């Protein structure tokens, strides 16, 4: 029997551990062959693959990233094609499906988040057997209590909050920490509680900036001359849209959020008279 595996979306700790477990179990316990597709669904579309043996996954248990490579830009159903200096987008899902059939795959294992697994689900409608492995720091997959990558993201954000406390206190500033999470506030909520943030703003509950400013003024009246705010990238004020930094055509999830931290800091400076600084946690 032969199975395939690919990793899509942003990388996070734990992906290589999954690859190692799949390969060692499939080969050593069942005698199956494992085909790895490089750079997510791009590898499936272009038939860019490698055969994975236990020797190929030695020493990767604690290594970050993914040895197969990844992509969060390549949607087989809307795939970027460059020809003669021109760019167009085509549905190459049929080509990807034919490649899977040519390898006689009994099943394709897809390691990814909501965008990658949405593509995987669309392939099941075309008859491809798929097993989805929930991977995302955002922890935003329905039916999954904890996705791997989430707790590491929380640890990183909490560590940043702890470091920001001393700077905020020394300079009497408002410090705004913008964290990832897309449309879910799990990272902001968990790290904000663990890191003793004074205000936590999440996408699920639209905020009122006047209330945030009052919270800061209340702290000042009690002799606390600094405030720590953690905001999820998808947070938004009442009657406002989320802050979008750019859009990436061809991606399973083309919207790239970003910029809400600076928006909040600028507005709070006007409302409170306090200096506000922003730290944006990205791809650490």
Residue 266's pLDDT is 95
Find out whether 278 and 265 touch, Cβ atoms under 8 Å. Answer: yes
What residues act catalytically? 138
Find out whether 122 and 112 touch, Cβ atoms under 8 Å. Answer: no
- What mean pLDDT value characterizes the chain? 92
Residue 46's pLDDT is 96
pTM of the predicted structure, to 2 decimals: 0.85
Q: How confident is the model at residue 252 (pLDDT cuts 50, 70, 90)?
A: low
Mean pLDDT of 87-114: 95
Give backbone dihedrals phi and psi of 56, rounded to 5 degrees, phi first. -75, -20
Mean pLDDT of 19-36: 97
* The token pair that represents 107 in the structure block: 């099943």
Q: How confident is the model at residue 13 (pLDDT cuts 50, 70, 90)?
A: confident
Q: How confident is the model at residue 111 (pLDDT cuts 50, 70, 90)?
A: very high
Q: How confident is the model at residue 241 (pLDDT cuts 50, 70, 90)?
A: confident
- Strand 130-134 and strand 174-179: the pairing is unpaired
Percent of the chain with pLDDT over 70: 98
**Burial class of residue 222, CB neighbours in 10 A (0-12, 13-18, 19+):** exposed
| Residue 253 confidence (pLDDT) above 80 | no
The region of weakest confidence among 20-29, 98-107, 256-265 is 256-265
Mean pLDDT of 49-72: 93
Find out whether 187 and 154 touch, Cβ atoms under 8 Å. Answer: yes
Write the pLDDT tens digit of every residue in 168-215.
999 999 999 999 988 999 999 999 999 999 999 999 999 999 999 999
Give backbone dihedrals phi and psi of 33, rounded to 5 degrees, phi first. -100, 140
Residue 284's pLDDT is 66
| Residue 42 confidence (pLDDT) above 70 | yes
* The token pair that represents 63 in the structure block: 């290594």
Mean pLDDT of 134-157: 90
Find out whether 243 and 233 touch, Cβ atoms under 8 Å. Answer: yes
Instruction: Give the position of tokens 């979306």.
Output: 9
Residue 250's pLDDT is 65
Task: For the chain, list the domains and their CATH numbers.
Answer: 2-134 (3.40.50.450), 151-280 (3.40.50.460)
Helix (H) or strand (E) holding 170: helix 150-171
């Amino acid at each position: 029997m032969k199975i395939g595996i690919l990793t899509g979306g942003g990388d996070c700790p734990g992906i290589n551990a999954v690859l190692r477990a799949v390969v060692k179990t499939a080969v050593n316990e069942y005698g199956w062959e494992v085909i790895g597709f490089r750079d997510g669904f791009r590898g499936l579309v272009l038939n860019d693959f490698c055969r994975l043996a236990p020797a190929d996954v030695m020493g990767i248990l604690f290594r970050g990233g993914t040895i197969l490579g990844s992509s969060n830009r390549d949607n087989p159903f809307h795939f970027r094609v460059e020809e003669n200096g021109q760019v167009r987008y085509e549905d190459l899902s049929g080509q990807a499906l034919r490649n899977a059939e040519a390898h006689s795959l009994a099943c394709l294992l897809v390691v990814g988040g909501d965008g990658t697994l949405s593509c995987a689900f669309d392939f099941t409608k075309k008859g491809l057997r798929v097993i989805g492995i929930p991977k995302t720091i955002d922890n935003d997959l329905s039916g999954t209590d904890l996705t791997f990558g989430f707790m590491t993201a929380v640890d990183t954000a909490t560590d940043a909050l702890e470091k920001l406390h001393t700077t905020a206190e020394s300079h009497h500033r408002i410090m705004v920490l913008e964290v990832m999470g897309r449309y879910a506030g799990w990272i902001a909520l968990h790290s904000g509680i663990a890191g003793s943030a004074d205000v936590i703003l999440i996408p699920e509950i639209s905020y009122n900036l006047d209330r945030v400013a009052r919270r800061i003024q209340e702290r000042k009246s009690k002799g606390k001359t600094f405030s720590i705010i953690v905001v999820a990238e998808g947070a938004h004020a009442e009657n406002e849209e989320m802050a979008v930094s750019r859009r990436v055509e061809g991606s399973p999830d083309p919207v790239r959020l970003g910029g809400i931290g600076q928006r909040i800091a600028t507005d709070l400076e006007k409302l409170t008279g306090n200096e506000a600084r922003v730290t944006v946690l990205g791809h650490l």
